[in-house]
Structures are given as C-alpha cells and as structure tokens.
Amino acid sequence: MGKTLKILIKRAYEKPVSADGKRFLVDRLWPRGIKKENLKLEGWLKEAAPSSRLRQWFGHDPERWEEFRQRYFDELKKHSDAWQPFLDTVKKSPVTLVYAAKDSQHNNAQALREFLEKNL
C-alpha cells in the first residue's frame, strides 16, 4: 500500500482541531460531562468498543494490558461488521479515535488503532 494511513488518538476532553480529520468516539459509554456538539464527531463506533464485561474486567489496570489487548482483538475479529466500514474512511482521510479514559497508554483507543493498522 503506497499511502500511509493516519489514525490519531485523542481524549474526549481535549479540544477538537482541524488536523484531527474525521473524529469517531470509540467508547461504549458517552464521556461524562461532555455535550454531543462539543465532541464534533463523524460517528460513534459503540459496537467496536470492548464489551462491557471486558471493559469492567480490565478496569484500566496496566498489569492486565497485554491480556486485555488479546481479548479485545478476539472480540474485534468476531465483529468485523463493527469496524470494517470505518476502514473506508481511514483510507480517504486522517481520522481520530476519541476516548475518555485517563490513561493515555492503556486504553481501548490505543488497542483499536493497533488492531486497525494490522488489518488494513
């Protein structure tokens, strides 16, 4: 593939900027205290987020990160319909995966970006 894809990651509490490209919320739950119009989203990939059960098990514990990634990747493989349409957007323009977690290193947006980059 000749073109480099640009998948950015940004916390929901950071201001949207034009360089974000098309923005997609990738959490199952809406971020607390944020109005819909303030997020400036192209879409909400709720079904591509980790299951509630997996999210609760992980609890943003860095020690569970590797296991979380594997379990999440397994979920994503079983539900390609949740993220497959998103790949068309990624091929056309930069996109930003928007998430609410406080931990910028161990969150589902990081894992989802890794998964998408491997599956493009």
Domain tally for the chain?
1
Predicted local distance difference test score (pLDDT) of residue 3: 52
Please give the Cα distance from 49 to 72 (Å, whole number): 9
- Does residue 49 form part of some domain? yes
Does residue 37 fall inside a structural domain? yes
How many percent of the chain have pLDDT more than 70? 96
pLDDT in tens, 1-38: 445 668 999 999 999 999 999 999 999 999 999 999 99
What's the domain range around 38?
A: 7-118
Whether residue 92 is contained in a domain is answered as yes
Instruction: State the pLDDT at residue 2.
Output: 44
Asked if the structure places residue 21 within a domain, the reply is yes
Does residue 42 fall inside a structural domain? yes
| 2 located within any domain | no
Query: Structure pTM?
Result: 0.92
Q: Is residue 63 part of a domain?
A: yes
Q: Exposure of 77 by Cβ count < 10 A (0-12 exposed, 13-18 middle, 19+ buried)?
A: exposed
